[in-house]
Amino acid sequence: MKKILVTGGAGFVGRRFVKYFLDKGDQVIVVDNIAKYTGGIDPNNGWPLYNPKNYKNFKFILQDCREWFKDNKDTDFDYVLHLAAMVGGRKIIENNPMIVADDLSIDCSYWQWAVECKPKKTLCFSSSACYPIALQTKKNYRLLKENDVNLEKSIGFPDLTYGWAKLSCEYLAKIAFAKYNLKSVCYRPFSGYGEDQDLSYPVPGICKRVINNKDAKKITVWGSGYQMRDFVFIEDCVRAVIKTMDKINDGSALNLSSGKYKNFRNFAQLAAKIIGFKPKIEGTRNTPEGVFARAGDISKQKKFGITHKVELESGIKKCLNYLLSVN
């Protein structure tokens, strides 16, 4: 039995990993303060897809992880999944750019604690927002490779203050390995999605809009709708992490991506088709759009034998069915 710490474990991504380790019989400790806009859900109220309180090997601590790090000096963690962050949809981050200060503080507090308590391995969850926006424009875009961010040479200008925070966390992971021999891997998820994701994110937001406006002649999406993203189903992300978590130790990054572009208009059209109607899809002025094109190269993932099993249409069906079931 392993001892697992999951910071931010009550959030959308964390809940999936918590279940994986609980089902394995590992001891899982989740530290999360259920901050507003993060999508965190108090397990005492039950989680949407399962109830972690039914597991005897589950412990939940309702606390800001920065405070927990100060008070707890356990030195026997086998794995730490560091997911804690002040996140939300793009609109939330754009409207509160100084939230980066909290993210930086969380990551600094974690790595200071890790140097002292020496967990055997850290799984650090970064973001595709760390990639240079210069490689994601209408005139200049391509699949983003892990080495497009080189912390020793050039990092470019990342997306949003959130991107800066994630780059800083990766840099600290590199220092922790070089100076203190702390093993870690940094994952860069692209547009991960799944059934119980918070509605402030694009995929559930669009799916909900399509359901609520079934048979309407028009459906709107944010921005022009021509902006493209790399949509990856959450269970594929989990499988990729589990497959590689013991294979990278020096703080290096690994994309969690499909290598495929899909624009938001096409996404909405596909969702509408699945539930049986064909509206006109239009963009919306004065709403966030972000970079023009973001998708991740899969060459490094292939070297580790990673394949994604859930195609976009199947993933959208899962999300639609879930939202219909909870309506």
Residue 292 is part of a domain; what is its CATH number? 3.90.25.10
Name the residue among 6, 23, 84, 12 with its Cα closest to residue 47. 12
Question: Is residue 211 a part of any domain in this protein?
Answer: yes
Contact 190, 128 (CB under 8 A): yes
Cβ burial, residue 52 (10 Å; 0-12/13-18/19+): buried
Report the amino acid identity of residue 53: K
Q: Do the bridges between strand 262-263 and strand 228-229 make them parallel or antiparallel, or are there none, so unpaired? A: antiparallel
On whether both 244 and 321 belong to a single domain, the answer is no
Question: Is residue 289 a part of any domain in this protein?
Answer: yes
Give the model's pLDDT for residue 159.
Answer: 64
On whether both 182 and 203 belong to a single domain, the answer is no
CA 129, distance to chain mean position in Å, is 10
Please give the tally of structural domains in the chain: 2
On whether both 266 and 150 belong to a single domain, the answer is no
On whether both 130 and 214 belong to a single domain, the answer is no
On whether both 250 and 276 belong to a single domain, the answer is no
Per-residue pLDDT of the chain (327 residues; tens, 9 = 90+): 999 999 999 999 999 999 999 999 999 999 999 988 788 999 998 999 999 999 999 999 999 999 999 999 999 999 999 999 876 555 555 566 667 788 899 999 999 999 999 999 999 999 999 999 999 999 999 999 999 998 777 677 776 677 888 999 999 999 999 999 999 999 999 999 999 999 988 999 999 999 999 999 999 999 999 999 999 999 999 999 999 999 999 999 999 999 999 999 999 999 999 999 999 999 998 888 889 999 999 999 999 999 999 999 999 999 999 999 997
Give the model's pLDDT for residue 90.
Answer: 52
The CA-CA-CA angle for residues 117, 123, 126, to 5°, reads 120
Question: Is residue 139 a part of any domain in this protein?
Answer: yes
On whether both 176 and 149 belong to a single domain, the answer is yes
On whether both 140 and 219 belong to a single domain, the answer is no
What does R_g of the chain's alpha carbons equal in angstroms?
A: 19
On whether both 202 and 244 belong to a single domain, the answer is no
Question: Is residue 302 a part of any domain in this protein?
Answer: no
Q: What is the pTM of this model?
A: 0.94
Give the model's pLDDT for residue 98.
Answer: 65
- Alpha-carbon distance of 60 to 233, in angstroms, equals 26
Q: What are the distances in angstroms from CA 232 to CA 160, 165, 197, 214?
A: 21, 22, 13, 25
**Domain at 236, CATH number:** 3.40.50.720
Give the model's pLDDT for residue 292.
Answer: 96
Name the residue among 243, 258, 134, 245 with its Cα closest to residue 189. 258
On whether both 107 and 156 belong to a single domain, the answer is yes
Question: Is residue 282 a part of any domain in this protein?
Answer: yes
On whether both 144 and 265 belong to a single domain, the answer is no
On whether both 225 and 235 belong to a single domain, the answer is no
Q: Where are the alpha helices (DSSP H) in the chain?
A: 12-24, 65-71, 90-95, 100-117, 160-180, 202-212, 234-244, 264-274, 299-303, 312-326
Determine the length of the chain. 327
On whether both 158 and 225 belong to a single domain, the answer is no
What is the span of the domain harbouring residue 275? 195-229+261-297+309-326
Token couple for 159: 């997306």
Q: What 3-state class would DSSP assign to 60? A: strand
Contact 161, 117 (CB under 8 A): no
